[in-house]
Amino acid sequence: MAPVPDEHTTHTLPTTGALPPELTGRYFRNGPNPLPGSPAGHWFTGAGMIHGVRISDGRAEWYRNRWIKTPAATGDDRPFLREDGTVDLTATSANTHVIPHAGRILALVEAGLPYELTPDLDTVGPCDFGGQLTTAMTAHPKEDPITGELHFFGYSLRPPFLTYHVLSAAGELIRSTPIDVLGPSMMHDFAITANHVLWLDLPMTANPELMVTGGMPFAWNDNYPARIGVMPRNGSSADVRWIEIDSCYVFHVANAAENPDGTIAFDAVRYTPAMIQKVWHGIGGHAELTDAQANAPTSLHRWVLDPVRGTARESALGAESVEFPTIDDGLTGLPNRFVYTVGSNLAGGVRGIVKYDLRDGSTDRHLLEDTWQPGEAVFVPAQDGDAEDAGWLLSVISSDTGAPSELLVLDATDLAAGPVASVHLPRRVPSGFHGSWITDAELAG
């Protein structure tokens, strides 16, 4: 997790194996990278840095890493929380995700506005969509594969605690609707289906004492119920059907889809109360992160929600300890068969990438050598593929030894076969969060 001290550019990267010729675009991955001399104290904080690889014609043309020029990365120490109690939505880190939409590249963090970047990773600046966005923007928006609309939300420490937003396919903010929740909970992710939005109102809530000390302002709250809200897409706060579930926390959602009987299947990585408190304590700088904390078990989990009866059935989809679930984004909100995850404590205690077949319950996995750790596996569909998993997984792997990182390209139909190509990066890439494959066509708007 240690940051790198500077920005770097290298052209013509060596590659083992053969890069698929139809991969033409950029792989960008975001994560926290505090400035030299500025320890973050918590893994979630620290200036955002994008690591990028350009691939075209079977070649890795360049690698570059750039800080996103937010106040956190430019030495501007303006406070996020002003003296009058309002927040400066530009005084943020933009360190969690990076996505394309409507010809823009947006670096995201849930505490503030997105920052727009160029295809070469220069910072354009904060983006409020023509002055229309007045809340923070989640780092996990969902693009509807049918309409091209981008659904997202902002949560706040003060009322309104949650606001639902929609961007048109052209990038115009066309909807902003407050949603009533029980309090200031940390809503990291959510889901959409063909006709609904699912809200996660869970027991990680704002803690005033932590806010005063300058730490991460959230902590586990035993007195706050865990519930999922089901809202029609064209509905409002009054239309949300709240369904209580067993107490837990969710950072990351795989997908959700409607079943023929009117229920909704919702898949995500679930933390029990004990798990989330152990992990949150470990990554929060309160104590050194031990192996046990780093590998605290989580599971890919399914909730089958019945909005009519107001009930939920829960079940684990696997026994592996996993995180960072991804799917073919072309199936967001629609039925999907495959989920790709990053796993720890797999066979022999090693780490790797695990693929779940939700139809037959089987798994496929690519295991790494002892010192290596995988990053989120981003699915890139093959242009003429006739199966859901026809395509590739891209993952930056980093070594505990500090060796230069690699960008793995795996055949998503056969993870166990190993990478079809490995791009050798010129430096270590710190463990980070989320990324995207961005095609040249997407940048053309």
Long-range contacts of 126-134 (CB under 8 A, 24+ apart): 126/70, 126/89, 126/90, 128/89, 129/167, 129/171, 129/172, 129/173, 130/172, 130/173, 132/172, 132/173, 132/176, 133/165, 133/173, 133/176, 134/89, 134/176
Per the annotation, does 51 bind a ligand? no
101 in a labelled binding site: no
Q: How far apart are CA 196 and CA 233, in angstroms?
A: 5
Name, in order, each residue with C-beta under 8 angstroms of 195's C-beta and a sequence gap of 6 or more: 232, 233, 258
In angstroms, the CA 49 to CA 396 distance is: 14
Question: Is residue 11 annotated as involved in ligand binding?
Answer: no
Contact status, residue 277 vs residue 283, Cβ threshold 8 Å: no
Rounded to whole angstroms, the Cα distance separating 27 from 20 reads 14
Q: Find out whether 424 is annotated in a ligand binding site.
A: no
Compute the distance between CA of residue 195 and CA of residue 341 in angstroms, rounded to an integer: 26
List own/partner pairs for 223-226 with CB under 8 A and 24 or more apart.
224/182, 224/183, 224/185, 225/182, 225/201, 226/201, 226/202
Give binding residues as ranges: 140, 188, 252, 434
Give binding residues for Fe cation as ranges: 140, 188, 252, 434
